[in-house]
Amino acid sequence: MPSPIRRPDRATRLLSAAERDGTHCVWCRRECTGLIRATTDHLVPKVKGGPSWLENEVVSCGRCNRERGHLSPVDWFVECERRGWCPDLGAVVGTLRSLGQAITARGGRRRARPYLAAQLRRLARLEAERTRLAS
Protein backbone atom coordinates (compact mmCIF):
# COMPACT_ATOMS: atom_id res chain seq x y z
CA MET A 1 0.00 0.00 0.00
CA PRO A 2 1.44 3.41 -0.95
CA SER A 3 2.24 5.79 1.86
CA PRO A 4 -0.06 8.81 2.24
CA ILE A 5 1.12 12.15 0.92
CA ARG A 6 2.67 14.18 3.72
CA ARG A 7 1.44 17.73 3.76
CA PRO A 8 3.39 20.42 5.60
CA ASP A 9 2.09 21.26 9.07
CA ARG A 10 0.96 24.75 10.11
CA ALA A 11 4.36 25.79 11.50
CA THR A 12 6.11 24.76 8.28
CA ARG A 13 3.54 26.63 6.16
CA LEU A 14 4.00 29.75 8.34
CA LEU A 15 7.78 29.63 7.85
CA SER A 16 7.32 29.18 4.09
CA ALA A 17 4.87 32.10 3.91
CA ALA A 18 7.33 34.28 5.87
CA GLU A 19 10.11 33.33 3.44
CA ARG A 20 7.84 34.20 0.51
CA ASP A 21 6.25 37.45 1.79
CA GLY A 22 8.46 38.58 4.66
CA THR A 23 7.89 38.49 8.41
CA HIS A 24 5.50 41.44 8.54
CA CYS A 25 1.72 41.19 8.71
CA VAL A 26 0.34 41.61 5.17
CA TRP A 27 -2.60 43.62 6.55
CA CYS A 28 -1.14 46.14 9.04
CA ARG A 29 2.57 45.72 8.14
CA ARG A 30 3.60 45.28 11.76
CA GLU A 31 6.71 43.13 12.13
CA CYS A 32 5.69 39.78 13.63
CA THR A 33 8.36 39.47 16.31
CA GLY A 34 8.39 39.41 20.08
CA LEU A 35 4.91 39.95 21.51
CA ILE A 36 3.36 40.32 18.05
CA ARG A 37 2.70 36.69 17.16
CA ALA A 38 2.70 35.60 13.52
CA THR A 39 -0.17 33.43 12.33
CA THR A 40 -1.25 32.03 8.99
CA ASP A 41 -4.32 33.73 7.61
CA HIS A 42 -6.41 31.83 5.04
CA LEU A 43 -7.25 34.28 2.25
CA VAL A 44 -10.09 32.05 1.08
CA PRO A 45 -11.64 31.07 4.42
CA LYS A 46 -12.15 27.41 5.19
CA VAL A 47 -15.92 28.02 5.38
CA LYS A 48 -15.76 29.12 1.72
CA GLY A 49 -13.87 25.97 0.74
CA GLY A 50 -10.38 27.40 1.16
CA PRO A 51 -7.68 24.78 1.72
CA SER A 52 -4.91 24.81 4.31
CA TRP A 53 -2.29 25.08 1.60
CA LEU A 54 0.65 27.48 1.52
CA GLU A 55 -0.91 28.98 -1.63
CA ASN A 56 -3.92 30.11 0.46
CA GLU A 57 -2.06 31.47 3.47
CA VAL A 58 -0.28 34.72 4.25
CA VAL A 59 1.54 35.95 7.33
CA SER A 60 -0.80 37.88 9.59
CA CYS A 61 -0.48 39.18 13.13
CA GLY A 62 -2.89 37.62 15.60
CA ARG A 63 -4.90 40.84 15.89
CA CYS A 64 -5.55 41.14 12.15
CA ASN A 65 -6.32 37.44 11.81
CA ARG A 66 -8.90 37.59 14.62
CA GLU A 67 -10.48 40.87 13.52
CA ARG A 68 -10.72 39.84 9.88
CA GLY A 69 -12.67 36.72 10.78
CA HIS A 70 -14.52 35.64 7.64
CA LEU A 71 -14.39 39.02 5.86
CA SER A 72 -13.27 38.72 2.27
CA PRO A 73 -9.68 39.75 1.48
CA VAL A 74 -10.98 42.78 -0.45
CA ASP A 75 -13.31 43.93 2.34
CA TRP A 76 -10.56 43.53 4.95
CA PHE A 77 -8.06 45.27 2.67
CA VAL A 78 -10.39 48.29 2.41
CA GLU A 79 -10.96 48.25 6.18
CA CYS A 80 -7.20 48.18 6.80
CA GLU A 81 -6.74 51.22 4.57
CA ARG A 82 -9.61 52.97 6.36
CA ARG A 83 -7.72 52.42 9.61
CA GLY A 84 -4.65 54.11 8.12
CA TRP A 85 -2.63 50.95 7.54
CA CYS A 86 -0.85 50.07 4.28
CA PRO A 87 -1.79 46.48 3.51
CA ASP A 88 0.48 44.57 1.12
CA LEU A 89 -1.67 44.37 -2.02
CA GLY A 90 1.08 42.59 -3.98
CA ALA A 91 1.34 39.77 -1.46
CA VAL A 92 -2.44 39.29 -1.30
CA VAL A 93 -2.91 39.28 -5.08
CA GLY A 94 0.14 37.08 -5.64
CA THR A 95 -1.02 34.53 -3.10
CA LEU A 96 -4.55 34.41 -4.52
CA ARG A 97 -3.18 33.93 -8.06
CA SER A 98 -0.90 31.19 -6.78
CA LEU A 99 -3.92 29.52 -5.16
CA GLY A 100 -5.79 29.63 -8.47
CA GLN A 101 -2.88 27.89 -10.18
CA ALA A 102 -2.62 25.30 -7.40
CA ILE A 103 -6.33 24.51 -7.58
CA THR A 104 -6.06 24.09 -11.35
CA ALA A 105 -3.07 21.77 -10.97
CA ARG A 106 -4.40 19.71 -8.03
CA GLY A 107 -8.09 19.80 -8.88
CA GLY A 108 -11.03 19.85 -6.51
CA ARG A 109 -12.00 22.81 -4.33
CA ARG A 110 -15.21 23.50 -6.27
CA ARG A 111 -16.59 25.76 -3.52
CA ALA A 112 -13.44 27.88 -3.42
CA ARG A 113 -13.23 28.55 -7.17
CA PRO A 114 -16.06 31.12 -7.56
CA TYR A 115 -15.06 32.92 -4.36
CA LEU A 116 -11.44 33.08 -5.50
CA ALA A 117 -12.41 34.36 -8.97
CA ALA A 118 -14.62 37.06 -7.46
CA GLN A 119 -11.86 38.22 -5.10
CA LEU A 120 -9.34 38.41 -7.94
CA ARG A 121 -11.78 40.47 -10.04
CA ARG A 122 -12.44 42.87 -7.16
CA LEU A 123 -8.72 43.20 -6.43
CA ALA A 124 -8.01 43.89 -10.11
CA ARG A 125 -10.58 46.71 -10.01
CA LEU A 126 -8.99 48.01 -6.81
CA GLU A 127 -5.51 47.92 -8.42
CA ALA A 128 -6.82 49.70 -11.53
CA GLU A 129 -8.45 52.38 -9.39
CA ARG A 130 -5.21 52.88 -7.44
CA THR A 131 -3.25 53.19 -10.70
CA ARG A 132 -5.76 55.67 -12.13
CA LEU A 133 -5.65 57.82 -8.98
CA ALA A 134 -1.85 57.75 -8.90
CA SER A 135 -1.54 59.11 -12.45
Average pLDDT, the chain: 91
Q: Could you tell me the pLDDT band of residue 2, with boundaries at 50, 70 and 90?
A: low
Name the pTM for this structure: 0.88
Residues 30, 93: contact at Cβ < 8 Å? no
Q: What burial letters (b/e) apply to 45-58, b meaning 16+ CB within 10 Å?
A: beebbbbebbbbbb
Please report which confidence band the pLDDT of residue 1 belongs to, taking 50, 70 and 90 as the band edges.
low
Per-residue pLDDT tens over the stretch 38-69? 999 999 999 999 999 999 999 999 999 999 99
pLDDT tens digits for 6-24? 678 888 999 999 999 899 9
**Residue 5's pLDDT is what?**
63
Residue 133 confidence (pLDDT): 85
Provide the β-strand partners of residue 57.
42
Q: What are phi and psi of 11, to 5 degrees?
A: -65, -40
Whether the pLDDT of residue 73 is over 60: the answer is: yes
